[in-house]
Structure 1
């Protein structure tokens, strides 16, 4: 199934910014686009604003944060928010969304919020469109273009996109067996990202008998929140050692020592995560294990994205 990812149109080179320019993302256009189908949207153009156009800014008023065109005084808050509602046929198909940073419509965080009386701005707001997007699809993986330049954040976003897509492909209505299989595939990923949620969600899935729409929504939102927490070296090390234990009966004393040393080299920052993972995958091919072969932790996305080279 094609994985569809929303994206601010300017990030794929469309000249739709207020100044007639773009903010093309090399990673999205050259790397990620090989594996996903991008759905381009520009909320400001979508509400009928021209290119080029007067700038929009976010202002703090007594009745809340408003998106205002300073040049004319026009308030476009409702238009930008409603654009997300009108785009629902597209948004429901998405497995993730890449947003333009600092934008008063699409910025996820630290967007300038102005005091209309003094002109003083604080970097503490989120864009109007993305605020509504979060309300409509709270589990949808979101990331900004600038943050994708950070290797751990880039890896984390792509991983969440592939997990969310897998969730979207589950047959509906959701059956307990399908939920258990999905959750089992995520166990080591959850252990790497959030040990407390790994334990809590394991108990929740095991005990839950009524798998209705309300529970499914609660579950996937919790999963995506847990996976959104960056994995630490310590947690990765714990998972690697956990996987190592499955091969204890097969490896020689020398092989065990080599693998243990490689895992600790990763823990100490001497080796990237890919080094112990490569050796573990080698042993998995040599000594197959159904449980490990089903774990998304070992193959969370296409290898040619090279996302674990810098971790």
Structure 2
């Protein structure tokens, strides 16, 4: 079984859009399907709307945002959509991520066109009714739009977060214990350093006080939220360089002068944007094979997801 991930049905290729078409995303439908077990949902069909169907849109009536028919705003689907979201979201507790359809008034994640009653649009737009409830109910869940997955940085960050959340859940299978949490956190220290230094320190302090918590479920929920918030901050080239140089220090007794110079040169060329992240990591993994280190070999940073996805070739 692949990693369970929710998805807008049209993004997977199902012909459920208002015009009877779809918005199939090739990368999602072909490449990610090899690793993810998608649960497809079309909220609009789920509340009884047909295919094809009248166009709907978000409208600000001065009090709140409503989901209405684009030609007759007296036809309002808001309450049905919210009721559907309330009913289905509890069953998503096992999901590790969600891919939504961009610009959709029900599923869009950001900058969905928002209209006033006079027909003018609101700058910045809004969030689809369904996706807004999803993100509010499950703020730790990685959510990304199909269109944004074309950006290599956003694509890598989303997939990394999905794998990290899956790893977290797998790490506590059979019951949450302090030892399991500590071991998991230890494996993600370098990832946290690369994504957000302040969160790395905050989470370190949280885990160091785990023995003061009587309720481990409450601790897990707190840790999960802070951990996923930290990973949502995209790793910068500067932070990655700092982590790579930190890793380099583990080989100071194992590498000769020429090997150290070579590794330093590759890291610096990455920092300058001349090489992708995969270049220094490939060299580091080679040295780790020749000179094993138990701490480094367990670090998720070195292999956070399948290499076949080629995510670090564009970073």
Would the TM-score normalized by the shorter structure come out above 0.5?
A: yes
Alignment correspondent of 2:124: 123
Shift of 1:135: 2.0
Shift of 1:71: 3.0
Structure 1 SS opposite 2:96: coil
Does residue 181 (structure 1) correspond to residue 188 (structure 2)? The answer is no
Shift of 1:25: 0.4
Shift of 1:56: 1.1
1:18-97 → structure 2 map (5 Å cutoff): 18-72=18-72, 73-88=74-89, 90-97=91-98
Does residue 206 (structure 1) correspond to residue 208 (structure 2)? The answer is yes
Q: Which deviations, in whole Å up to 9, do the C-alpha atoms of 1:147-186 show, x marking residues without a partner?
A: 1000010000000000111122213642111110111111
Q: Which deviations, in whole Å up to 9, do the C-alpha atoms of 1:208-254 show, x marking residues without a partner?
A: 22153332222111111110111111000000011111111000000
Does residue 278 (structure 1) correspond to residue 279 (structure 2)? The answer is no
In the superposition, the TM-score normalised over structure 1's length comes to 0.97
Does residue 247 (structure 1) correspond to residue 247 (structure 2)? The answer is no
Structure 2 alignment gaps of length 5 or more: none
Return the alpha-carbon distance in structure 2 between the equivalents of residues 82 and 301 of structure 1.
Answer: 36
Shift of 1:49: 0.3
Check the 8 A contact 1:114/1:122 in 2, yes or no: no
Q: Which deviates further from its counterpart, 69-78 or 53-62?
A: 69-78
Pick from 262, 266, 278: which aligns with 1:262?
A: 266
Q: Which deviations, in whole Å up to 9, do the C-alpha atoms of 1:273-292 show, x marking residues without a partner?
A: 00000000001111111111
In the superposition, the TM-score normalised over structure 2's length comes to 0.95
Shift of 1:89: 5.6
Shift of 1:7: 0.6
Shift of 1:88: 3.4
Q: Which deviates further from its counterpart, 190-199 or 164-173?
A: 164-173
Alignment correspondent of 2:194: 192
Check the 8 A contact 2:105/2:129 in 1, yes or no: yes
Alignment correspondent of 1:2: 2
Structure 1 SS opposite 2:221: helix
Return the alpha-carbon distance in structure 2 between the equivalents of residues 90 and 266 of structure 1.
Answer: 43
Return the alpha-carbon distance in structure 1 between the equivalents of residues 222 and 83 of structure 2.
Answer: 25
Check the 8 A contact 2:2/2:34 in 1, yes or no: no
Structure 1 alignment gaps of length 5 or more: none
Return the alpha-carbon distance in structure 2 between the equivalents of residues 172 and 140 of structure 1.
Answer: 22
Structure 1 SS opposite 2:123: strand
How many equivalent residue pairs? 311
RMSD between aligned residues:
1.3
Structure 1 SS opposite 2:274: coil
Does residue 236 (structure 1) correspond to residue 240 (structure 2)? The answer is yes
Return the alpha-carbon distance in structure 2 between the equivalents of residues 191 and 37 of structure 1.
Answer: 30
Return the alpha-carbon distance in structure 1 between the equivalents of residues 40 and 53 of structure 2.
Answer: 19
Return the alpha-carbon distance in structure 2 between the equivalents of residues 171 and 36 of structure 1.
Answer: 19
Check the 8 A contact 1:7/1:98 in 2, yes or no: yes
Shift of 1:110: 0.5
Check the 8 A contact 1:15/1:22 in 2, yes or no: yes
Q: Which deviations, in whole Å up to 9, do the C-alpha atoms of 1:258-310 show, x marking residues without a partner?
A: 00000000000111100000000001111111111111100000110000001
Check the 8 A contact 2:113/2:121 in 1, yes or no: no
Check the 8 A contact 2:195/2:231 in 1, yes or no: yes
Structure 2 SS opposite 1:198: helix
